[in-house]
Structure 1
């Protein structure tokens, strides 16, 4: 009887340790992917540079001005749902993305603007800068998904 009780207790402990439930804090620490994206315009008034950093379910936006009268940057943060983050992670194939050139076209030539996407996992990172409104061949879905995220979070209060 004692042996059966000990065996059941042991099985319960082992079953508890193999639980697949992961807290959001554990997910944040265990997910090394960082996605950076943004836009910039050389000749503009106001906040001409917008940089976004996406990591797990947090999005940080930093807005910078090139104007001498409006020099203080603005920063703010919002959250995105886990499903959106998982979708972005699926589209963010760093190995394939690293094969892209660092510059596509002529970003911000004739004040047309520039966009960039940077993927980082641990020490490996790659950034591609391209013409505003254009795309990265083979990564159209990632570009569109990140544009949607930027559009949904376009300004700091």
Structure 2
């Protein structure tokens, strides 16, 4: 199980269609693996928090968190890729069969104005129709920040 890491900081908040996106989280998980089975990044307008954890072997693979600065202009680009937050909230989840047959799962959560986070889970290495560019950009950020 992932540990929720809460960071309080001065955020640049970007408003689209009356709602402000305050953060994104994207990650992958594989239920049948050895090592760091769950990897994610939490992104806000000023920083990226990464996390890695093991499903079972916490001694050899302790949970790891790291923080990196992040440019607000890059955050704004992600927000623009969402477009309408109301449309995002209509995406049915899960998409396909995430982590069935040990293929892995991916997720994207978007936090708005302190409202409940709306997350979409989908099969690893697939995409979300209508949000392909968002998925690609978030995937690239995960690969950049998680070592």
The TM-score with structure 1 as length reference comes to: 0.76
- Deviation beyond 3 Å, 4+ runs, structure 1: 29-32
Indicate the SS of the match to 2:51.
strand
CA distance in 1, matches of 2:138, 2:63: 22
- The answer to which of 129-138 and 67-76 deviates more is 67-76
Residues 107/89 of structure 1: CA separation in 2 closer, same or farther (3 Å cut): same
Contact 2:12 2:45 in 1 (8 A): no
Contact 1:50/1:64 (<8 A) preserved: yes
Offset of residue 71 of structure 1? 4.9
Distance in 2 between residues matched to 1:146 and 1:114, nearest whole Å: 14
> Which of 17, 21, 27 is residue 38 of structure 1 equivalent to?
27
**Which residue of the other structure, out of 92, 97, 107, is the alignment partner of 1:106?**
97
Gaps of 5+ in 1: 1-24
Task: Provide Cα deviations, 1:50-78, integer angstroms capped at 9, x if missing partner.
Answer: 12111112110111111334352000011
Q: Deviations over 1:58-105 (max 9, x none)?
A: 110111111334352000011222321111111123211101012000
Q: Does residue 153 of the first structure (1) align with residue 133 of the second (2)?
A: no
Work out which of the two has the higher radius of gyration on C-alpha atoms and give 1 or 2. 1
Structure 2 residue runs of 5 or longer lacking an equivalent are 1-8, 15-20
Between Structure 1 and Structure 2, which shows a larger proportion of helix residues? 1
Tell me the equivalent position of 1:72.
62
Paired residues, number: 130
Q: Which has the higher contact order (CA 8 A, sep 6+)?
A: 2
Question: What is the root-mean-square deviation of aligned Cα atoms in Å?
Answer: 1.8
